[in-house]
Amino acid sequence: MTTSTAASPVLKVEGIDAFYDSSQVLFGLSLFLNKGETLALLGRNGAGKSTTMKSIAGIVRGRKGSISLAGKEIRGQAPHQIARAGIAFVPEDRQIFPELSVEDNLLIAIKRNQQGGSDWTLERIYDMLPLLKPLRMRLGGQLSGGEQQMLTVGRALMGNPSVILLDEPSEGLAPIMVQKIGELIGTLRELGTTIVLAEQNLHFCLGLADHAVVIDKGKDVFYGTIDELSRNDDIKQRYLSV
Ligand SMILES: Nc1ncnc2c1ncn2[C@@H]1O[C@H](COP(=O)(O)OP(=O)(O)OP(=O)(O)O)[C@@H](O)[C@H]1O
């Protein structure tokens, strides 16, 4: 990591490792995220983006390093404790409840995460994701991939997280849905939501992210503003598929 950041980032990951059985996939990875900022996590297929997010969310446990949220250490906590502490993870495979309606998928999140009052309501979610409103009684399993992606983001918001981790939200979607997901992230950013956005596609992150971390073979190899990255041909050619 080459650049220092503001004094107290909301999320600070320092020198973590991660293993699947005995195979190591993260090697001393660090990143910083300031409140209200969108951080792009970029890297090729298999670079370690999902593992980084799963490590933050407590799904993959490492042996070293520190992960702190608003100054409190969360590394080693169980996923439900980390979710309760304010981190929402939207996985690549979406994981909505296929047998529940859109509305119940949303309501279940508020029940599970509500800690005395909630800023996000069904009404606000439907205002921001108007596409979901006419589908509110449809079963989750009957939605298209893009609709499911909208639903997972809505569900994450219902827990009023302080940080949202979005794992390749545009993956496998039709261009029109990719555009809608981009607009949604733009709106969330304007609302001051703090986001980590894992992506293979730098182009998708331009105009959406403030800073970027590039990961290669489980290590952070670049940290800077998204504009600095877009001008850095060497890093782009070496580590990104552009
Ligand atoms: N459950 C698992 N068991 C074993 N190895 C895994 C597992 N999940 C990921 N890996 C390996 O860990 C490395 C990092 O994978 P990861 O999914 O974090 O990368 P990624 O950057 O998110 O890639 P993608 O864009 O393909 O999702 C890869 O070598 C991958 O094969």
What number is the ipTM of this complex? 0.96
Structure tokens at 35: 């409140």
Q: Which of 59, 69, 61 has its CA nearest to residue 13?
A: 69
Q: What does the H/E/C string look like for 91-130?
A: CCCCCCCCCCEHHHHHHHHHHHHCCCCCCCCHHHHHHHCH
Mind listing the pLDDT tens digit of every residue in the chain (242 residues)?
444 444 578 999 999 999 999 999 999 999 999 999 999 999 999 999 999 999 999 999 889 999 999 999 999 999 999 998 999 999 988 789 999 999 999 998 875 544 555 588 899 999 999 999 999 999 999 999 889 999 999 999 998 899 999 999 988 888 998 999 999 999 999 988 999 999 999 999 999 999 999 999 999 999 999 999 999 999 999 999 76
Answer whether 51 contacts ligand 1 (Cβ < 6 A). yes
Distance 157 CA to ligand 1 centre (A): 26
Answer whether 152 contacts ligand 1 (Cβ < 6 A). no
Structure tokens at 169: 């939200």
Q: Report d(CA 53, CA 154) in Å as an integer.
A: 19
Closest protein CA for atom 31 of ligand 1: 46
Answer whether 161 contacts ligand 1 (Cβ < 6 A). no
Q: Report d(CA 39, CA 42) in Å as an integer.
A: 9
Asked if 165 and 56 count as a contact pair (C-beta separation under 8 A), the reply is yes
Asked if 153 and 90 count as a contact pair (C-beta separation under 8 A), the reply is yes
Asked if 53 and 170 count as a contact pair (C-beta separation under 8 A), the reply is no
Asked if 122 and 80 count as a contact pair (C-beta separation under 8 A), the reply is no
- Give the phi and the psi of residue 173 in degrees, each rounded to 5: -100, 155
Closest protein CA for atom 7 of ligand 1: 20
Query: At 193, is the secondary structure helix, strand, or coil?
Result: coil
Closest protein CA for atom 12 of ligand 1: 25
Answer whether 77 contacts ligand 1 (Cβ < 6 A). no
Q: Provide the phi-psi class of 233: left if phi over 0, else alpha when psi is between -120 and 50, else beta.
A: alpha
pTM of the shown model: 0.91
Asked if 223 and 209 count as a contact pair (C-beta separation under 8 A), the reply is no
Asked if 150 and 184 count as a contact pair (C-beta separation under 8 A), the reply is yes
Instruction: Fill in the DSSP letter of residue 185.
Output: H
Placement of tokens 């590394």 in the chain: 75
